[in-house]
Copies of this chain bind each other. A is one copy, B any other.
Amino acid sequence: MDLFMQAAIEQARLGLAQGGIPIGSVIVHDGRIIGRGHNRRVQKGSAILHGEMDAFENAGRQPAGIYHESVLYTTLSPCAMCSGAILLYGIRQIVIGENQTFMGEEALLRSRGVQVDVLQDADCIHMMRTFIEASPELWNEDIGVEDSDHPL
């Protein structure tokens, strides 16, 4: 198991233990984690703190060149907002835990030259599948859809 994906999974589990949505992310520069994050919708009543956004926020105001050289790890395929943040900061490579429970904007990212690797990690899939089954309303809220749009 990739150590950095393991760190992202630890973030997801931390979020789950807090009663939150189990998605985690880390941003790695030159072999060192410069930002860790997990979804904080529940914990902070936040509409923007997805796992990847939280990792950016915790990495903070880095020089552009640092972000350009960084790799972002996330347990789940990144949504439009998080993919947009990846594009804004010129992240050139991301590693995704899985995209079976949710397919984000991978095609857009690839079309802009981002290297996207998907691990289809069994732990990530199990964690999300269990969560979505238990809390479909919360999950739908997190991806901006009405329950009636996407009955689970």
Contact = CB atoms under 8 A, between A and B. Distances in A.
Interface of A: 41, 45-48, 53, 56-57, 59-65, 67-68, 79-85, 87-90, 105, 108, 140-141, 143-146, 149
A61 B149 CA distance: 18
Residues of A contacting B: mostly: helix
B84 A145 contact: no
Contact of A45 (B56, B61, B81, B89): B61
Number of copies: 2
A40 B67 CA distance: 19
Nearest to A84: B84
Contacts of A149: 64
A51 B79 CA distance: 20
A140 B84 contact: no
B64 A47 contact: no
A89 B144 contact: yes
